[in-house]
Chains A and B, each alone.
Chain A
């Protein structure tokens, strides 16, 4: 996922906020493309020079607080508060981002207090995504310079303030652990004591940053700041918002995609104890109760008539046939180098195959929920969201009120994975709350959450290659067929019919391929809504490219690691990662019967990963993942322990999908309902890990998604190694069962 999301949302959905629109104009020109998303070149408005108090609109000007930019507040007690431009959904940014700030500010990161930022693209948008969005493994990449700069600017103000007080040269003053020292005279002043003087100083535009060799915080496994409250129940997620006199709502949405509500008989429900009200919105009904249980029982007592619309007979097979049919026509060209067609004709050996990847639900542990109060003074929203400004803008649009009248209170997120990049749940809750007096908490049941998710699209890929006499690929043609999430989310990002997310990795494989042709055919799955899912384009692209290269290695009768290494010379960091993973694993050692070992490599999100996975396939055809060896080059590492955690978690998230998960549709409705039939990996099924972080001085890469993106093909290739069967359709499910 890339910046395009921003322009798209702004232009398509949001009308109410002039400052944001101005800001987004900058986002209109894409200046550079890198693997893992396009990067925009714009300045950080939050750090533009000027009077200090213009940068944070909630700040009480000059009143005992030093706030030279939107991210920092220091009070006269020396307490440092960081206002978080990104949201915490488990990926560790509530620690790694404060580390960036603390490094330059010269404070102990463990003492930094954190606040969720209010919605404000101008202050908290970033240069990669162009708005206040958390996603695409961009947080560290986007905030790496701005937050270090923010910390350095603040530190320089404190140094200047101390030097002025002492009437000494600034160069004789040092900042350490929240104190400015003047060694020569033995004097010192805490940051709190300098707040008043420092807050009156002009803010420098730019301050020199530390040489990485002097880092004291960055590169350490600093303890997480968000976890102490996660072991005792005190951490607050959106679902835990409990405004005074809150009511509770449970909803039923049209079971058939595209269906509409005809009528509701609520006479029985309204007689039930604790049921307060029944509310209709678009394609859903909500029962409001004094608690969730009353609302849930009330919902069960409703007699609802749906107009099921035109999709009542739709099944997954129809949607796959749509893709298959469309795959026979040429698509929009995403990459053309050399002449793949003529090279194919001249090839010594050829291979043409199809890959399919299913619809997937996000199934975040925290089900969709949103608490809203609509009153005379505007609207309050309590929700954990990856897109606070878009959610705020859509609420304003829904209510027809100015965006300033919508107060959005963000929370910790109990799993995002892309689901909370969408505002459907917020808009729905606002429409419900508009009809209810006082605050109302809308919680989706797990069944609603799974059946009315916005799904990772079904993808159908045709891919073919020709090998020369030595087995090297001289021709490579790849057609990707599926939904364009970008076309809905960020239309301007789609150029000449090519969705950059849908073809990511596929259009830019890491291998030397002299004749390369990649095209994309957009086919929407009728009424089924689609959305980003952890690992986005690289998850689906890597599965196909890395499965297929493995097939070519087998066709060429070359070891799969050696085959890749020979073709990776243009991507040396990936080649290095693969060499390390191979040397740390048992690659090349013989396997017992029923055992398999598979490899895959991935370059996206600015990071480079190689993965080798060991599995056991039992006689019943069930796969047990034994061990995952991974070598990671994600550039300069901010918090190594967080990187390890993201690889472990990202892999396990990916394993659930590759082994078990698919959303299927029958009679126009989702067949799966809950964790009993949408199976998630459990502790007894999880592999052991051996992860190797490669030291690097390169710019930091993203790490929230690469593990998920890399594991699929490694596992499928291990299945081939164990059984001789190629997995060309996910999930593996019961394909290996006799």
Chain B
């Protein structure tokens, strides 16, 4: 039995040590906002925060997490960065199919945590790990800048 601190709540989970956090969150806890996309940390759909840092949950074994705080898309709106990113995403109508957007938003929030006013290069670095097949990239870039401005 491992204890995982997810969105401020401790969860006792009966799962093998090598089980990636993604499947614990989705299949055992039942939080389905975090998405499966590739399974090899190539697409970013599974991005969550571990102590505020973006992490790809599809390759993160739960044994590596310990008592660190896990935040998923369901709770990121409780942070100020999360709130402003979500608002900017809606104001600019970033989303199309939306499947990758949980991961995009988690990466964007982590970026603002690190660089409250990111330049284009910092946006590229933080967001290039998140694929969007609908091609919402121009709006993601614009929305991050708006959120940064409003968070100032």
Residues of A within 8 A of B (CB): 88-92, 221, 223-224, 226-228, 230-237, 239-240, 242, 248, 273-274, 291-293, 363-367, 412-417, 443, 445-446, 641, 645, 648-653, 674-676, 680-684, 686-689
Do residues B97 and A652 form an inter-chain contact, with CB atoms below 8 A?
no
Do residues B127 and A232 form an inter-chain contact, with CB atoms below 8 A?
no
Do residues B93 and A652 form an inter-chain contact, with CB atoms below 8 A?
no
Query: With A233-B32, A365-B99 known to touch, is A415 a contact of B133 (CB < 8 Å)?
Result: yes
Residues of B within 8 A of A652 (CB): 135, 137
Do residues A291 and B28 form an inter-chain contact, with CB atoms below 8 A?
yes
Residues of A within 8 A of B110 (CB): none
B38 interface contact, C-beta 8 A: yes
Residues of A within 8 A of B72 (CB): 233
Between A and B, 10 residue pairs with Cβ closer than 8 Å are A227-B89, A291-B24, A291-B27, A415-B99, A446-B40, A645-B136, A648-B139, A650-B135, A653-B133, A680-B133
Do residues A413 and B133 form an inter-chain contact, with CB atoms below 8 A?
no
Do residues B135 and A684 form an inter-chain contact, with CB atoms below 8 A?
no
Q: A274-B16, A648-B135, A689-B138 are in contact. List 15 more A-B contacts (CB 8 A).
A: A92-B96, A231-B90, A233-B74, A292-B27, A293-B16, A412-B98, A443-B36, A649-B136, A674-B38, A675-B38, A676-B42, A680-B133, A681-B137, A682-B131, A683-B123
- Kindly report which residue of chain B lies nearest to residue A639, judged by CB atoms: B93
Instruction: Give the distance in Å from the alpha carbon of A586 to the alpha carbon of B40 in the complex.
Output: 42
Q: Which of A224, A645, A653 counts the most B-chain CB atoms under 10 A from its CB?
A: A645
Q: Which of A366, A412, A650 counts the most B-chain CB atoms under 10 A from its CB?
A: A366
B116 interface contact, C-beta 8 A: no
Within 79-122 of B, Cβ neighbours of A (below 8 Å) are at: 86, 89-90, 93, 95-102, 105
Do residues A683 and B128 form an inter-chain contact, with CB atoms below 8 A?
yes
Query: With A232-B86, A650-B135, A674-B40 known to touch, is A273 a contact of B16 (CB < 8 Å)?
Result: yes
B64 interface contact, C-beta 8 A: no
Residues of A within 8 A of B127 (CB): 682-684
Do residues A649 and B73 form an inter-chain contact, with CB atoms below 8 A?
no
- Kindly report which residue of chain A lies nearest to residue B85, judged by CB atoms: A231
Q: Mark B25-49, 1 if CB is under 8 A from A, else 0.
A: 0111011111111111011010000
Query: With A224-B93, A649-B135, A680-B133 known to touch, is A232 a contact of B77 (CB < 8 Å)?
Result: yes
Residues of B within 8 A of A (CB): 15-16, 19-20, 23-24, 26-28, 30-40, 42-43, 45, 72-74, 76-77, 86, 89-90, 93, 95-102, 105, 123-124, 127-141
Residues of A within 8 A of B136 (CB): 645, 648-649
Dominant secondary structure of chain A at its interface with chain B:
loop
Instruction: Give the distance in Å from the alpha carbon of A443 to the alpha carbon of B39 in the complex.
Output: 12
Do residues B98 and A293 form an inter-chain contact, with CB atoms below 8 A?
no
Do residues A235 and B98 form an inter-chain contact, with CB atoms below 8 A?
yes
Do residues A365 and B37 form an inter-chain contact, with CB atoms below 8 A?
yes
Do residues B31 and A686 form an inter-chain contact, with CB atoms below 8 A?
no
Instruction: Give the distance in Å from the alpha carbon of A221 to the alpha carbon of B92 in the complex.
Output: 11
Residues of B within 8 A of A413 (CB): 97
Residues of B within 8 A of A416 (CB): 97
Do residues B98 and A230 form an inter-chain contact, with CB atoms below 8 A?
yes
Residues of B within 8 A of A88 (CB): 97
Q: Which of B27, B102, B128, B141 counts the most A-chain CB atoms under 10 A from its CB?
A: B27
Do residues A90 and B33 form an inter-chain contact, with CB atoms below 8 A?
no
Residues of A within 8 A of B38 (CB): 446, 674-675
Report which of A221, A233, A367 forms a contact with B37, defined as CB distance below 8 A: A367
Query: With A232-B86, A683-B127, A683-B130 known to touch, is A91 a contact of B36 (CB < 8 Å)?
Result: no
Residues of B within 8 A of A274 (CB): 16
Do residues B134 and A649 form an inter-chain contact, with CB atoms below 8 A?
yes
Instruction: Give the distance in Å from the alpha carbon of A366 to the alpha carbon of B37 in the complex.
Output: 6
Residues of B within 8 A of A90 (CB): 95-98, 134
Q: Which of B20, B42, B86, B134 counts the most A-chain CB atoms under 10 A from its CB?
A: B134
Report which of A227, A230, A675 forms a contact with B42, defined as CB distance below 8 A: A675
Residues of A within 8 A of B138 (CB): 648, 686-689
Instruction: Give the distance in Å from the alpha carbon of A239 to the alpha carbon of B89 in the complex.
Output: 23
- Kindly report which residue of chain A lies nearest to residue B32, judged by CB atoms: A240
- Kindly report which residue of chain A lies nearest to residue B42, judged by CB atoms: A675
Do residues B130 and A227 form an inter-chain contact, with CB atoms below 8 A?
no
- Kindly report which residue of chain B lies nearest to residue A534, judged by CB atoms: B133
- Kindly report which residue of chain B lies nearest to residue A229, judged by CB atoms: B98
Instruction: Give the distance in Å from the alpha carbon of A443 to the alpha carbon of B22 in the complex.
Output: 14
- Kindly report which residue of chain B lies nearest to residue A91, judged by CB atoms: B96
Instruction: Give the distance in Å from the alpha carbon of A232 to the alpha carbon of B34 in the complex.
Output: 10
- Minimal beta-carbon separation of A628 from chain B (angstroms): 10
Residues of B within 8 A of A641 (CB): 93
Instruction: Give the distance in Å from the alpha carbon of A226 to the alpha carbon of B94 in the complex.
Output: 12
Do residues A233 and B34 form an inter-chain contact, with CB atoms below 8 A?
yes
- Minimal beta-carbon separation of B127 from chain A (angstroms): 5
- Kindly report which residue of chain A lies nearest to residue B72, judged by CB atoms: A233
Report which of B19, B97, B124 forms a contact with A293, defined as CB distance below 8 A: B19
- Kindly report which residue of chain A lies nearest to residue B16, judged by CB atoms: A273
- Minimal beta-carbon separation of A182 from chain B (angstroms): 38
Instruction: Give the distance in Å from the alpha carbon of A495 to the alpha carbon of B25 in the complex.
Output: 52
- Minimal beta-carbon separation of A135 from chain B (angstroms): 15
Residues of A within 8 A of B134 (CB): 90, 365, 415, 649, 653
- Minimal beta-carbon separation of A300 from chain B (angstroms): 12
- Minimal beta-carbon separation of A25 from chain B (angstroms): 35
- Minimal beta-carbon separation of B40 from chain A (angstroms): 6
Instruction: Give the distance in Å from the alpha carbon of A421 to the alpha carbon of B39 in the complex.
Output: 25
Q: Which of A226, A651, A686 counts the most B-chain CB atoms under 10 A from its CB?
A: A686
Residues of B within 8 A of A240 (CB): 32
Instruction: Give the distance in Å from the alpha carbon of A274 to the alpha carbon of B15 in the complex.
Output: 9
Instruction: Give the distance in Å from the alpha carbon of A727 to the alpha carbon of B38 in the complex.
Output: 31
Residues of A within 8 A of B33 (CB): 232-234
Residues of B within 8 A of A688 (CB): 138
Residues of B within 8 A of A414 (CB): 35, 97-100
- Kindly report which residue of chain B lies nearest to residue A246, judged by CB atoms: B27
Which 4 pairs between the two chains have the least Cβ-Cβ distance? A233-B33, A652-B135, A414-B99, A90-B96
Instruction: Give the distance in Å from the alpha carbon of A310 to the alpha carbon of B74 in the complex.
Output: 50
Residues of B within 8 A of A686 (CB): 135, 137-138
Do residues B36 and A239 form an inter-chain contact, with CB atoms below 8 A?
yes
Residues of A within 8 A of B128 (CB): 682-684
Q: Which of A234, A364, A365, A681 counts the most B-chain CB atoms under 10 A from its CB?
A: A365
- Kindly report which residue of chain A lies nearest to residue B144, judged by CB atoms: A683
Instruction: Give the distance in Å from the alpha carbon of A384 to the alpha carbon of B108 in the complex.
Output: 27
Residues of A within 8 A of B26 (CB): 292
- Minimal beta-carbon separation of B52 from chain A (angstroms): 18
Instruction: Give the distance in Å from the alpha carbon of A416 to the alpha carbon of B96 in the complex.
Output: 11
Residues of A within 8 A of B77 (CB): 231-232
Do residues A417 and B133 form an inter-chain contact, with CB atoms below 8 A?
yes
Instruction: Give the distance in Å from the alpha carbon of A525 to the alpha carbon of B105 in the complex.
Output: 41
- Kindly report which residue of chain A lies nearest to residue B86, judged by CB atoms: A231
- Minimal beta-carbon separation of B14 from chain A (angstroms): 9
Report which of B20, B32, B43, B141 forms a contact with A675, defined as CB distance below 8 A: B43
Do residues B93 and A227 form an inter-chain contact, with CB atoms below 8 A?
yes
Report which of B42, B73, B139 forms a contact with A645, defined as CB distance below 8 A: B139
Residues of B within 8 A of A367 (CB): 36-37
Residues of A within 8 A of B39 (CB): 445-446, 674
Residues of A within 8 A of B101 (CB): 230-231
- Minimal beta-carbon separation of A603 from chain B (angstroms): 22
Do residues A232 and B73 form an inter-chain contact, with CB atoms below 8 A?
yes
Query: With A231-B86, A236-B32, A674-B38 known to touch, is A680 a contact of B131 (CB < 8 Å)?
Result: yes
Residues of A within 8 A of B140 (CB): 683
Report which of A234, A242, A364, A651 forms a contact with B133, defined as CB distance below 8 A: A364
Residues of B within 8 A of A293 (CB): 15-16, 19-20, 23, 27
Instruction: Give the distance in Å from the alpha carbon of A363 to the alpha carbon of B33 in the complex.
Output: 20
Instruction: Give the distance in Å from the alpha carbon of A680 to the alpha carbon of B35 in the complex.
Output: 18
Residues of B within 8 A of A364 (CB): 99, 133
Report which of A227, A417, A443 forms a contact with B95, defined as CB distance below 8 A: A227
Instruction: Give the distance in Å from the alpha carbon of A291 to the alpha carbon of B26 in the complex.
Output: 9
Instruction: Give the distance in Å from the alpha carbon of A412 to the alpha carbon of B100 in the complex.
Output: 13
Report which of B16, B27, B105, B135 forms a contact with A231, defined as CB distance below 8 A: B105
